[in-house]
Amino acid sequence: MEKKNKKEWIKNAIIVFLVIMLIFTFCSDSIMNMYLPEVSTEAVASGKLQECVRGSGNAELGSGYLVKIKESRTIKSVNVKTGQTVKPGDVLFTLEASDGTELDTAKSTYLDLQTDYQKKLLGTDHNYDKDSMAIKAAKAEYDKAVDNLNGIEAKKKSIKAKQKALKSCEGKIAKYEEKITDYDTKINDLATKTDAASAQADLLSKQRILAGLNNELSDINADLQALKNAGADAAEITVKERERRDKALEVSNAKNDVSIAENTVNEIAANITCLANYTSKRTTANKKLTTYKNNQQTLSGELETLKTGLMTREEAEAAVTEKENAWNSLLADLEAKKAEDSHTDESDKIELNAARQKLVAQKKLVEDLMASSQQTEIKAEQEGIVSSIDIAAGDSTQPDTPIATIASSSEGYTVKFSVTKEQAVKVKAGQKAEVENYYGDECKAVLSKIEADPENPGYSILTFSVSGSDINTGDSLTISVGGESKAYDVICPKSSIYEDNNGKFVLTLESKNTPLGNRYIAVRHEVDVLAENDAKAAISSDLYGYEYVIVTASEALTPGQQVKLKEE
């Protein structure tokens, strides 16, 4: 009786011990989760990404106009200053008075005489280009007729050779079409047996099941040993041993399943290799088929041309005589035409000399009358700001020489900044841009010019045309312009990319099932950045495009570290 009570006491002690250990296990898990780094994630995806080029520069006034006059006049007074704003009609300069009432008439007469002289200077058109081209074409037709006569027998031989080559080409076409049909059958058959992702997933699932069963078997072995150590009843030990045998059988069956799944993966890998081989052979065969079909088309065309142009010897001789006569006739016509034009040239020279003397005399008269012009004021043509004055009171103007520059704010502003050549090639002139720090009603910006930066080799200057109601000269404007939008397989948040001495990488969140629930592990993946903008980056890596990458963390992370998800 005392021995039985002792066994009951040991049994109860073991049960209490196991309950206490279980409670500690769950409590330790909760305590550990309290101190794990907290992270947030975002899924990667495929799509399009547009790179952005950004810079800042000061607003400068756009182009204006140059103040000019067409006469030589003396400046009496300068009525404006540099930097002064003027409106249309404001007097810029006052000129000394002069008499110029006959100037317009003299200029008109001069223009008429100049036009008459220019017409006579052209003379009679003795262009013989058309005649020469006609003679050249007639000679080519004659040479062609002679070659055709001499090549009749050669053409007949060539026709036979091309007919033979065409027949051989048709045989090759039939051969490669048969090969392609055979390859297509094999490719279609293998295409249904290359689902590597599904087979790999099945293998992974069976491996996980096997691992779980092994863990369960280990637990049963531990329990059995504990029963034996505790001196449990034989019946209880027998039940646990039977449970161990059953679980060992499940492990054996799971191993067989894993072996079958591994064989399936290997078979699919072999199918993929075989499929690639047949696909390569089909591509090669298709190229050769295309080549032979092109040769067939070329040979058919050449054969048709040879047959179409084939004449009898009598017909070829008649054609030679006809083309020779036409050629000789054109040569005779050109000689007669040149003789007639020679007489016309002598008459034109006499008239041209008389027109030149009249033009020289009228030009002298116009120059004398320019000094007597009655214009006394030079006025602004449009609203703007006087940016430069190039003449002073008492100075004389020169015809069509600028005497002042008016910069017009109505034509907008320009903003320039320097970027790298790599950035410059991503944009092009004419692209619309965005002014990021403008707070007025409306602002438009267009990339107007891209040119090399003379002060910074390896850089380019971007020039933007900018317009806006609240922009002033000297304002600092930040402008962004988008590059070309391209499609990429994997795009992730820019904040998820880290860099260390080994290069750039991202951390993905991988979930692992445990008896106490899911555990999240940060896994490192090396990446190359292909393109980026402010928020996103296109990358090249071993990611498939559906993973979740870590974008924020409550503390610095290391690969393999356990983390917890941030609660939304």
CA distances from residue 218 to 11, 223, 250 in whole angstroms, order as listed: 21, 9, 13
416/395 Cα distance (integer angstroms)? 37
Helix, coil or strand: residue 439: coil
CA distances from residue 258 to 246, 265, 514 in whole angstroms, order as listed: 18, 10, 21
b/e map 393-403, b = 16+ CB within 10 Å: eeeebeeeeeb
DSSP string, 401-432: ---EEEE-GGG-EEEEEEEEHHHHTT--TT-E
Q: What is the distance between the terminal CA atoms of the chain, rounded to a whole angstrom?
A: 61
Structure tokens at 359: 């033009």
- 476-493 and 432-435 beta bridge pairing: antiparallel
- What CATH topology corresponds to 36-51+487-565? 2.40.420
Structure tokens at 11: 């049994």
Nearest C-alpha neighbor of 418 from the set 458, 451, 454, 462: 462
Contact at 8 Å (CB) between 190 and 275?
yes
Per-residue model confidence (pLDDT) at position 490: 92
| pTM exceeds cut of 0.85 | no
461/445 Cα distance (integer angstroms)? 16
Per-residue pLDDT 10s for the chain (568 aa) are 555 566 677 777 777 777 666 655 554 455 556 678 899 999 998 888 877 787 889 887 666 677 887 667 788 899 998 768 888 888 888 888 764 445 667 677 877 877 876 777 776 667 777 878 888 888 888 887 677 667 676 777 777 887 888 888 888 888 888 888 988 888 888 777 777 788 788 889 888 998 898 898 899 898 888 888 888 888 888 988 898 899 889 889 988 988 887 888 888 888 888 888 888 888 998 898 899 889 888 888 877 877 776 677 777 678 778 878 888 888 888 788 777 777 776 776 777 777 777 777 767 766 655 654 566 788 888 777 776 788 888 888 776 688 887 766 566 678 889 988 877 887 888 888 888 777 776 788 888 888 899 888 889 998 888 877 677 767 888 888 876 678 888 999 988 999 899 899 999 988 887 665 678 899 999 999 888 877 888 899 998 888 899 988 888 888 888 888 887 6
CA distances from residue 179 to 186, 273, 279, 280 in whole angstroms, order as listed: 11, 19, 12, 13
470/457 Cα distance (integer angstroms)? 35
Contact at 8 Å (CB) between 386 and 82?
yes
306/505 Cα distance (integer angstroms)? 67
